[in-house]
Amino acid sequence: MQNFSFKKPTEFIFGKDVENEAGSYLKKYNANKVLIHYGAGSVVKSGLLGRVEESLKKEGVSYVLLGGAVPNPVDSLVYEGIELCRKENVDFILAVGGGSAIDSAKAIAVGVPYEGDFWNLFDQKAPVGKALPVATVLTIPAAGSEASSATVITKMSNPPLKRSLVHDAMIPVFSLMNPELNYTLPAYQTACGVVDMTSHVLERYFTTTKGVEITDRLCEAVILTIIKEAPIAIKDPNNYEARANLTWAGTIAHDGTVGVGRMPDWGTHMLEHELSAMYNVAHGAGLAVMFPAWMEYVYEEDLDRFVRFAENIWGIEHKGDKKETALAGIKAIKEFFKSIGMPTSFEELGAKREDIPALIEVLKINTGGSFSNFKKLDMEDARKIYEIAAR
Amino acid sequence: MQNFSFKKPTEFIFGKDVENEAGSYLKKYNANKVLIHYGAGSVVKSGLLGRVEESLKKEGVSYVLLGGAVPNPVDSLVYEGIELCRKENVDFILAVGGGSAIDSAKAIAVGVPYEGDFWNLFDQKAPVGKALPVATVLTIPAAGSEASSATVITKMSNPPLKRSLVHDAMIPVFSLMNPELNYTLPAYQTACGVVDMTSHVLERYFTTTKGVEITDRLCEAVILTIIKEAPIAIKDPNNYEARANLTWAGTIAHDGTVGVGRMPDWGTHMLEHELSAMYNVAHGAGLAVMFPAWMEYVYEEDLDRFVRFAENIWGIEHKGDKKETALAGIKAIKEFFKSIGMPTSFEELGAKREDIPALIEVLKINTGGSFSNFKKLDMEDARKIYEIAAR
């Protein structure tokens, strides 16, 4: 086990109707002027935004609104949010939505106190200093952004650049999580979230660190929960228990709990980022295609790890041939993704084999030419993994 | 799943040599004058106290010392600590030790700003207001006190009264956790810790709340880890990985992670508290006796839960007869406790059947006559459970 430090300062308020407490929690955390940042019209149409506004008014907390956050959130709205916050003397940002609205809110939060172009922070030209405090009302369990220190923003240059930024200053102060808000999520979007949270665990599970039984078991616990609850939530969207279990699984998957003491991988996320940047496909759908492809390429690096994955997560009986068991595990996760309606190939995703060189080109810019930990990957490895996905 | 709020503000610094960072973390958290509170002479003899003092001196953090915390920490030392803190203008308490030193430190921390007799807080005659900040250097993984909001103190009256107090103000600000500090723990004490942390999970696992798959799985993950690592640590006390996994399992077991969204039980802890108050036996040893006895008495309340316990934790094949499977699970945990050298009966513990009426008498004072959640227990139930343990 590696040395680690772990701090999870977010206050989670979880359950039915908790969105109505937005105002009182903002007051508790000394917000004076809030930017409520949200995405799609669904937050407006469903009445959620109205309820949140009402709770702020009730507590006398003043605010301004900024909608329009899109999946794979883009730099233009971040610039707009930064300007608005400065003009309105905003001192607290409340994101209402899923990972996109929260990630966009986090980028605004670090951008406001930084005097230069906020993209410098994502470009590692400048370090993150301070950030406005961020809180969330979570509507989509998936990205884990309600508890994480990370954000991913796409710069709409040509080619688009998708970059992540990680800093403790962006960890939400509090997150209001009502699983009922997920009832209206379409099956496809629910499934994308399921793949996203599963992937957050897998990026940590496939590690070169030995002797970390506790986080191995915690990883397995979260994925076993997801495998049980996802089909229920997709078939019966108003099933509170299934939605609640998935929602909390999504948080645990990415708040550090399942990652302490070990070296994570993150290779598949990097491979996927280029897909969603180029085709604007949902991150979860891209991961459903890339994770099995990555596994197929790297599994012989540590057969025992893949045997454990097959046995403890998929209940596959290991009869002695490690390669056979490992491949059965990879087949099982691919079938699970397929069973919840996810694509598992370039074709189903709408990606094209002939674009692989272009994908590699941007990947090289974003990674500096090598990345990942479970197996160190270079651009030739990446090409082969994309080829497996395009098969 | 029940609505919940969850906040885990402690900063954990985990790994080799982290005790040397005590001074810098105290400085980070603005300590001016520190009470270093510890227990047995082993902290002195091993050189640990010296290293901690050195790290405070290096950072220019001044301090006073108070040793003498005993297992099942007592009120007299708490009074002494409160007086010392007031006299020396202490504004931060650093506990160096296991659950006893930490619990004692927490009681001092709530006692200093309270003007009356601190026992009023434990007697529920007055609410907890403020507390001095507490931090820990953990030497024994067991109680989970390094991350919890709870403390247990024994008032040395006749009969002795063992009471717990729970308040967020007592959650440690930071905890320095070096698993190497456990190398010198004797096998018996290691095993007591193992039972203690296992029990913290079981008190939450046996719940009447339905549909909480995520925390069910997390509970199972922690116990599976303990079952694997405990025999290794006992056989090979200097095995870093085993010690590290147990240490972190002990924290996760009691920091709320495995308890969210569900009603916990805590009946066995209440039954045990009377044993350790009367005989001054180690809390873990008492739990090893009382948990299987409690299980045997209550298992028919929810056979499915006990079948799951048998299958998912002990790998027992369920052949159709729920009662049979449930009893096999109970037998398995008793055997596990026995295998690590723990007592599983009154006799082995040094407790006496004829004391049961006296135990019940104090239990009645401490619980008001009924307690527990999985099965509501009254004094007659308690008597029968003690009888099972005394068999």
pLDDT of residue B158: 85
Q: Give the tokens for residue B75.
A: 């009120």
Taking the CA of residue A253 and the nearest CA in chain B, the distance in Å comes to: 11
Interface check for B47 against chain A (CB to CB < 8 A): the answer is: no
When mean pLDDT is compared across B151-160, B226-235, B259-268, the lowest value belongs to B151-160
Q: What is the spatial distance between Cα B119 and Cα B107, in angstroms, rounded to a whole number?
A: 9
pLDDT of residue B193: 96
Taking the CA of residue A364 and the nearest CA in chain B, the distance in Å comes to: 35
Taking the CA of residue B9 and the nearest CA in chain A, the distance in Å comes to: 5
pLDDT of residue B277: 85
User: Cβ–Cβ of A214/B248 closer than 8 Å?
Assistant: yes
Taking the CA of residue A169 and the nearest CA in chain B, the distance in Å comes to: 15
Q: Residue B41: is its pLDDT beyond 80?
A: yes
User: Cβ–Cβ of B221/A220 closer than 8 Å?
Assistant: yes
Q: What is the spatial distance between Cα B239 and Cα B185, in angstroms, rounded to a whole number?
A: 12
User: Cβ–Cβ of A12/B7 closer than 8 Å?
Assistant: yes
Tens of pLDDT along B135-176?
Answer: 999 999 999 999 999 999 999 988 888 889 999 999 999 999
Taking the CA of residue B100 and the nearest CA in chain A, the distance in Å comes to: 24
Interface check for B241 against chain A (CB to CB < 8 A): the answer is: yes
Tell me which chain A residues have a C-beta less than 8 angstroms from the C-beta of B9. 7, 9
Q: What is the spatial distance between Cα B246 and Cα B222, in angstroms, rounded to a whole number?
A: 9
Tell me which chain B residues have a C-beta less than 8 angstroms from the C-beta of A240. 1, 211
Torsion of CA B232, B238, B239, B242, to 10 degrees: 60
Q: What is the spatial distance between Cα B168 and Cα B66, in angstroms, rounded to a whole number?
A: 24
Q: What is the spatial distance between Cα A248 and Cα B81, in angstroms, rounded to a whole number?
A: 41
Residues ≥6 apart with Cβ < 8 Å to B58: B23
pLDDT of residue B72: 84
**Could you tell me which chain A residue has the CA closest to the CA of B180?**
A3
Short-list B103, B117, B108, B109, CA closest to B283: B103
Q: What is the spatial distance between Cα B75 and Cα B92, in angstroms, rounded to a whole number?
A: 20
Return per-residue pLDDT of chain A as tens, 391 residues.
999 999 999 999 999 999 999 999 999 999 999 999 999 788 999 999 999 999 999 999 999 999 999 988 999 999 999 999 999 999 999 999 999 999 999 999 999 999 999 999 999 999 999 999 999 999 999 999 999 999 999 999 888 888 899 999 999 999 999 999 999 999 999 999 999 999 999 999 999 999 999 999 999 999 999 999 999 999 999 999 999 999 999 999 999 999 999 999 999 999 999 998 899 899 999 999 999 999 999 999 999 999 999 999 999 999 999 999 999 999 999 999 999 999 999 999 999 999 999 999 999 998 999 999 999 999 999 999 999 999 9
Residues B216-223: what's their mean pLDDT? 98
Specify the 3-state DSSP secondary structure of A236.
coil
> Would you say B145 and B157 are in contact if contact means Cβ atoms under 8 Å apart?
no
Specify the 3-state DSSP secondary structure of A192.
helix
Over the Cα atoms of chain A, what is R_g?
Answer: 20
Interface check for B213 against chain A (CB to CB < 8 A): the answer is: yes
Is the CA virtual torsion A74, A77, A81, A87 positive or negative? positive
Short-list A187, A203, A225, A184, CA closest to A44: A184
How many residues would you count in chain A?
A: 391
Q: What is the spatial distance between Cα A57 and Cα A61, in angstroms, rounded to a whole number?
A: 6
> Would you say B372 and B267 are in contact if contact means Cβ atoms under 8 Å apart?
yes
> End-to-end distance of chain B based on CA atoms, in angstroms?
38
User: Cβ–Cβ of B10/A7 closer than 8 Å?
Assistant: yes
pLDDT of residue B162: 84
Residues B95-120: what's their mean pLDDT? 97
Tell me which chain B residues have a C-beta less than 8 angstroms from the C-beta of A238. none
B6, B225, B229: residue with CB nearest A12: B6
Residue of higher predicted confidence among B56 and B42: B56
Q: Give the tokens for residue B211.
A: 């549909």
From residue B276, how far is each of B106, B254, B284, B291, B351 by CA, in Å?
Answer: 20, 20, 9, 14, 10
Tell me which chain A residues have a C-beta less than 8 angstroms from the C-beta of B213. 225, 228-229, 241, 245
Q: Residue B267: is its pLDDT beyond 90?
A: yes
Taking the CA of residue A149 and the nearest CA in chain B, the distance in Å comes to: 15
Q: Residue B37: is its pLDDT beyond 90?
A: yes
Q: Is the ipTM of this complex over 0.90?
A: yes
Q: Residue B341: is its pLDDT beyond 90?
A: yes
Q: What is the mean pLDDT of chain B?
A: 96
Tell me which chain A residues have a C-beta less than 8 angstroms from the C-beta of B262. none
> Would you say B8 and B147 are in contact if contact means Cβ atoms under 8 Å apart?
yes
A220, A225, A261: residue with CB nearest B214: A225
Greatest Cα-to-Cα distance within chain B, rounded to the nearest angstrom: 66
pTM of the predicted structure, to 2 decimals: 0.95
- DSSP state string for B248-292: HHHHHTTSSTTTTTS----HHHHHHHHHHHHH---HHHHHHHHHH
Is the CA virtual torsion B373, B379, B385, B389 positive or negative? positive
Tell me which chain A residues have a C-beta less than 8 angstroms from the C-beta of B225. 213-214, 217
Tens of pLDDT along B293-309?
Answer: 999 999 999 999 999 99
Q: What is the spatial distance between Cα B175 and Cα B26, in angstroms, rounded to a whole number?
A: 11
> Would you say B387 and B277 are in contact if contact means Cβ atoms under 8 Å apart?
no
User: Cβ–Cβ of A214/B260 closer than 8 Å?
Assistant: no
Write the DSSP symbol of residue A311.
I
Which of B133-169 are b and which e, b meaning 16 or more Cβ less than 10 Å from the residue's Cβ?
bbbbbbbbbbbbbbbbbbbbbbbeeeebbbbebebeb
Interface check for A160 against chain B (CB to CB < 8 A): the answer is: no
Interface check for B16 against chain A (CB to CB < 8 A): the answer is: yes
The set of long-range contacts for B330-339, using a CB threshold of 8 Å and a minimum separation of 24, is B330/B292, B330/B295, B330/B296, B330/B299, B330/B306, B333/B198, B333/B291, B333/B292, B333/B295, B334/B292, B336/B227, B337/B195, B337/B288, B337/B291, B337/B292, B339/B231
**Could you tell me which chain B residue has the CA closest to the CA of A176?**
B5
For chain A positions 248-287, those within 8 Å of chain B (CB to CB) are 248-249, 252, 257, 260-261
B18, B221, B244: residue with CB nearest A1: B244
pLDDT classification of B280: cutoffs 50, 70, 90: confident
How many residues would you count in chain B?
A: 391
Alpha helices, DSSP H only, in chain A? 22-28, 42-45, 48-58, 75-88, 99-111, 119-122, 187-205, 213-235, 240-252, 267-279, 283-298, 303-308, 314, 322-339, 346-349, 356-367, 379-390
Tell me which chain A residues have a C-beta less than 8 angstroms from the C-beta of B245. 1, 211-214
pLDDT of residue A40: 76
B240, B245, B257: residue with CB nearest A257: B257
User: Cβ–Cβ of B6/A18 closer than 8 Å?
Assistant: no
Q: Give the tokens for residue A361.
A: 């080109």
Tell me which chain B residues have a C-beta less than 8 angstroms from the C-beta of A225. 213-214, 217
Rounded to 5°, the CA angle B279-B281-B287 comes to 115
Tell me which chain B residues have a C-beta less than 8 angstroms from the C-beta of A11. 5-7
Taking the CA of residue A5 and the nearest CA in chain B, the distance in Å comes to: 4
